[in-house]
């Protein structure tokens, strides 16, 4: 067994252990930290497979941006350590068989799709010009030519997920004020202007004070 194979087994073991702790840790913060560890080991495995661009992308995008966002969201949630954790994990073991069945089905589907990529004997050798292009450029050419349709499907799924997340977390505040443009357009003059007839007010002239001296005489 060479060094690369030994490192592959070490990173794979740590990756599986971290992934298991993601779903079994009692603290949500600990789950997020174990997920960061899983992503880091996955990037190390990609480095062993000479996929440097994917490894750096996983570290920069998922560990550097997405997981930091996850930690902020988890820390902003007002969850009690006892009641909140039990409420979140309520029914976990009840739905575990169905979740395991769905996970196994997804793994079989991914194996059926990716099985052709592991058949190295059937793969055509790369030309010298393709080798000089580099890993990143070859990946971009393959994504936007051969896998353009799956890329568009993935983009649509991500858009739907973003819209669903916004719709689920959107809460209407009671103290917020907003304007409805359609209601403003449909308004009439009678609704905005009201004419009131009022009696005119006339100031009365002040009566001069009586002369006390003349009254005394």
Between CA 38 and CA 48 the distance in angstroms is 16
Q: Based on the fold, state whether residues 33 and 73 are members of the same structural domain.
A: yes
Both 85 and 32 in one domain: the answer is: yes
Residue 81 sits in the same domain as residue 56: yes
Q: Do residues 95 and 80 both lie within one domain?
A: no
Q: pTM of this prediction? A: 0.49
Identify the burial level of 85 via C-beta atoms within 10 angstroms of its C-beta, where 0-12 means exposed, 13-18 middle and 19 or more buried: middle
Q: Are residues 160 and 132 in the same domain?
A: yes
Half-sphere exposure of 199 (CA within 13 A, CB side): 3
In a domain, 19, yes or no: yes
CA angle in degrees (0–180, nearest 5) for 19-20-21: 90
105 plus 156 within the same structural domain = no
Provide the number of structural domains found in the chain.
Answer: 3
| Domain match, 104 and 145 both | no
Give the CATH number, domain containing residue 27. Answer: 1.20.120.1200
Q: Which pLDDT does position 57 carry in this prediction?
A: 84
Distance separating alpha carbons of residues 105 and 173, to the nearest angstrom: 42
Is the residue at 14 inside a domain? yes
Which structural domain, as residue segments, surrounds residue 57? 1-90
pLDDT in tens, the chain (217 residues): 788 888 889 999 999 999 999 888 887 778 888 888 898 899 999 888 888 888 888 888 888 877 777 777 777 665 545 555 555 556 667 777 887 888 888 788 777 766 655 554 444 555 666 666 667 777 788 888 888 888 888 888 888 888 887 877 776 666 677 777 888 888 887 777 878 888 877 777 766 665 555 555 4
**Is residue 209 included in any domain, yes or no?**
no
- Whether residue 95 is found in the same domain as residue 132: no
Residue 126 CA to its chain's centroid (Å):
38
In-domain check, residue 208: no
Residue 139 and residue 164 in one domain: yes
Q: From the CB of residue 31, how many other CB atoms can be counted at a distance below 10 Å?
A: 16
* Maximal CA-CA distance, the chain: 140
DSSP-assigned letter for residue 7: H
Q: Which residue has the tokens 């002040």?
A: 206
71 in the same domain as 10: yes
Q: Please indicate, yes or no, if residue 215 is contained in any of the structural domains.
A: no
- Are 35 and 74 in contact, with CB atoms under 8 Å apart? no
Please indicate, yes or no, if residue 187 is contained in any of the structural domains.
Answer: no
Helix (H) or strand (E) holding 159, with range, is helix 148-169
| pLDDT score recorded for residue 17 | 92
Q: What is the pLDDT of residue 120?
A: 45
Predicted local distance difference test score (pLDDT) of residue 114: 65
Helix axes 67-76, 28-48, angle to 10 degrees: 180
**Residue 189: inside a domain:** no
Give yes or no: residues 83 and 1 share one domain.
yes
Is 39 within the bounds of a domain?
A: yes
| Amino acid 202: pLDDT | 73
Residues 25 and 68 grouped into a single domain: yes
């Amino acid at each position: 067994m060479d060094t690369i194979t030994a490192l592959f087994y070490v990173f794979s073991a740590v990756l599986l252990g971290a992934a298991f702790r993601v779903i079994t840790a009692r603290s949500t913060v600990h789950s997020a930290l174990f997920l960061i560890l899983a992503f880091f080991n996955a990037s190390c495995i990609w480095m062993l497979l000479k996929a440097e661009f994917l490894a750096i992308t996983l570290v920069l995008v998922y560990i550097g941006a997405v997981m930091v966002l996850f930690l902020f969201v988890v820390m902003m949630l007002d969850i009690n350590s006892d009641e909140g954790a039990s409420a979140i994990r309520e029914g976990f073991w009840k739905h575990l068989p169905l979740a395991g069945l769905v996970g196994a089905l997804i793994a079989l589907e991914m194996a059926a799709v990716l099985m052709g990529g592991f058949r190295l004997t059937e793969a055509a050798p790369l030309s010298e010009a393709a080798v000089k292009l580099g890993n990143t450029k070859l990946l971009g050419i393959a994504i936007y030519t051969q896998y353009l349709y799956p890329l568009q499907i993935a983009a649509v799924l991500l858009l739907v997920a973003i819209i669903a997340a916004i719709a689920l977390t959107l809460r209407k505040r009671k103290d917020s004020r907003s304007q409805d443009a359609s209601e403003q357009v449909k308004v009439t003059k009678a609704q905005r202007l009201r004419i009131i007839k009022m009696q005119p007010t006339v100031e009365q002239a002040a009566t001069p004070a009586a002369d006390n001296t003349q009254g005394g005489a």
